[in-house]
Amino acid sequence: MISETHKWKVAQRASPQKLSTSKGIFQLGRGILIGSILPIILLIAWEIAARTGLLAAHLLPAPTIILEKIISMYQDGSLFGHISVTLTRVFLGFAIGTGAAVVIGAIVGYAKTAERLLDPLFQAIRSIPSLAWVPLFILWMGIGEPSKISLIAVGVFFPVYLNIVAGIQGVDRKLIEVGRIYHLTPYQLTKRIILPAALPSFITGMRSGLGLGWMFVVAAELMGASEGLGYLLVVGQNTYSPDTVIASILLFAVLGKITDAVLKWVEHRSLKWQDSMTNQG
Amino acid sequence: MLNVSRLKRTFNHDTAGFQDINLSVKEGEIIGVLGTSGCGKSTLLRVLSGLDQQYEGTISIENGSNNQIGMMFQEPRLLPWLSVKKNISFGLEKEERNTEKYKTYLDLVGLTGFENHYPKDLSGGMAQRTAIARALITEPEILLLDEPFSALDAFTKMQLQDLLLSIWQKKKTTMILITHDIDEALYLCDRIFVLKGQPGEVYSEVSIEKQRPRTRGDGYLSKQKAHILHLLNVEKKAAGEHQ
Ligand SMILES: Nc1ncnc2c1ncn2[C@@H]1O[C@H](COP(=O)(O)OP(=O)(O)OP(=O)(O)O)[C@@H](O)[C@H]1O
Ligand SMILES: [Mg+2]
């Protein structure tokens, strides 16, 4: 009797592992389902309120109107232009900011003298709210693309830089000693031990850098642009069309989420070895 | 092969580490080091391996090139982002790293079928066996082993002790083996150094004059074991008297 209950318990414990894939999808589906109940109710309430005139339509138009706006922009071809311009700016800024952060962060993290020399400076610069650079960049580079991309790059730089330095300095000395036993050169040591060990922290930095990149692209496009989602915000404000503003906010949210999901996927792919909560089973 | 004289490495104003170690190890000799926890055994290996350069005294390695020293740490120290097979191949030259050479050693330590696992999915003993394979694969001339079998069950332990002996038979590798297991030291070593104190010093040296392979627990070894136990016991009594 006892042994039978015991067996049953064991079987019950073992089952989630075996069914992990199908059950995982099921749980994911259920998670999305539960998570979307509230937004859907809110959307319906919003739609009804806007249709019945409870909400002033010139301030907060109904969701369907916003959707129509997006579809009409898609049909007249302007949607793709705005999105691609904004995405290009984010990617260029992100690439430049990350690239600079990798080079400088690796040097500062690796060489003590470089750290003493450079880190105080970067800490000081970091304490300047990045938006304060806007006027200076415009003075220096005009209102065109360079100043926008620089602003985004500055925003991306700091989180990536800080995480790389922390990642490199946090590499377990014991693992570095393994490399020294095999007489790795500094270059080999960096490539085979330090960089892989610092990778998790680097990816964390990239994800928060990307978030800031999206924030700064809005700032950059608000300060003067002739295309882009941020420009749509300005247009919507100037033409009193809240549907344009909300449509562009929505598009920012969707794009931000998609790009973050890509990085999250990269993270998952390259950090499978990590002994973390999400990697169990 | 390896000569060490008046070697000293201490920490915290001479209260930890080891001092006054004199060793002269012949080629192909297996040296055992026994001693209480914290008496500087791991520190000694770190100094011998070249990881710790802040020692006093002299170390000389005859006809020694750089890559002759292999080391197995007290902890497995596997690289968590590499699979078992890549961890085993870690110390090989680039051309050899992607070959099948790891297979032999994977089999020898009994991990066949686990080559693609990551260290996070290994048990303590499996991780230790991976580390053993990694230390052996480069075929160093001097092998420094810091409690290599401490996490293994009695049976696997004996198997791997025999593995070590078969490698010794083939290559006449010089080994320095730290262990807490007196039987292991008696089974494998030519000479056993008993360290004691803080900082640790050589308290006694025991030679095991017996051809390998030896029979575990044979009369002579038992007598030596009693002797070593006595040495360790005296040490305890002496410590007691001080208080
Ligand atoms: N880098 C260090 N700085 C300060 N103290 C150290 C350092 N490394 C080791 N010690 C001290 O030296 C002493 C000897 O350490 P060691 O690791 O060599 O001991 P051990 O003989 O290997 O012990 P065990 O059998 O437990 O492994 C310990 O008291 C330790 O605290
Ligand atoms: Mg130790």
Q: Are B97 and B91 in contact (CB under 8 A)?
A: no
Banded model confidence at residue A84, pLDDT cuts 50, 70, 90: very high
Nearest CA to ligand 1 atom 17: B42
Q: Locate the domains of chain A by residue range.
A: 62-272
Other Cβ atoms within 10 Å of B103 Cβ, number: 13
Q: What's the mean pLDDT in B158-166? A: 91
Q: Are B144 and B167 in contact (CB under 8 A)?
A: no
Q: What is the pLDDT of residues B200-243, one digit of tens each?
A: 888 889 898 888 888 888 888 888 888 888 888 765 555 554 54
CA of B205 to the centre of ligand 2 (A): 19
Q: What is the pLDDT of residues A180-208, one digit of tens each?
A: 999 999 889 988 999 899 999 999 999 99
| Residue A272 confidence (pLDDT) | 86
Banded model confidence at residue A15, pLDDT cuts 50, 70, 90: very low
Q: Phi then psi for B109, rounded to 5 degrees?
A: -90, 10
CA of B85 to the centre of ligand 1 (A): 31
- Nearest ligand to the CA of B44 is 1
Q: Are B130 and B121 in contact (CB under 8 A)?
A: no
Q: Which two structure tokens, joined as six digits, stand for B188?
A: 């494998």
| Residue A197 confidence (pLDDT) | 93
Q: Phi then psi for B105, rounded to 5 degrees?
A: -75, -30
The reply to whether ligand 1 has any atom less than 6 angstroms from the CB of B10 is no
Q: What's the mean pLDDT in A46-72? A: 87
Q: Which residues, including other chains, have CB under 8 Å from residue B5's CB and lie 6 or more apart?
A: B22, B57, B58
DSSP single-letter state for residue A62? -
Q: Locate the domains of chain B by residue range.
A: 1-30+38-62+190-209+225-243, 67-144+161-171
The answer to whether A255 contacts chain B (CB < 8 Å) is: no
Of residues B67, B75, B120, nearest to A174 (C-beta): B75
C-alpha torsion angle, residues A264, A265, A266, A267 (rounded to 10): 50
Predicted ipTM of the assembly: 0.88
Q: Which residues, including other chains, have CB under 8 Å from residue A45's CB and lie 6 or more apart?
A: none
Q: What's the mean pLDDT in A18-37? A: 72
Closest CA to B60 of B29, B24, B10: B24
Banded model confidence at residue A167, pLDDT cuts 50, 70, 90: very high
State the CATH architecture for B67-144+161-171.
3-Layer(aba) Sandwich (3.40)
Residue type present at position A149:
I
| Ligand 1: nearest atom to the Cα of B41 | 21
Question: Cβ B77–A196 below 8 Å, yes or no?
Answer: no
Whether residue B193 is predicted with pLDDT greater than 70 in this model: the reply is yes
Whether residue A13 is predicted with pLDDT greater than 80 in this model: the reply is no
End-to-end CA distance of chain B: 41
* Whole-prediction pTM: 0.79
| Residue B143 confidence (pLDDT) | 93
Q: Are B8 and B56 in contact (CB under 8 A)?
A: yes
CA of A248 to the centre of ligand 2 (A): 62
The reply to whether ligand 1 has any atom less than 6 angstroms from the CB of B38 is yes
Q: Enumerate residues with CB within 5 Å of ligand 2 (an ion).
A: B 42, 74
Q: What average pLDDT does chain A have?
A: 85
Q: What's the mean pLDDT in B64-69? A: 68
Of A16-20, A51-55, A179-183, B14-18, the range with the lowest mean pLDDT is A16-20
The domain A62-272 is placed in CATH, from the list 1.10.10.10, 1.10.150.450, 3.10.20.600, 1.10.3720.10, at: 1.10.3720.10
Q: What average pLDDT does chain B have?
A: 89
Q: What is the pLDDT of residues A143-156, one digit of tens each?
A: 889 999 999 999 99
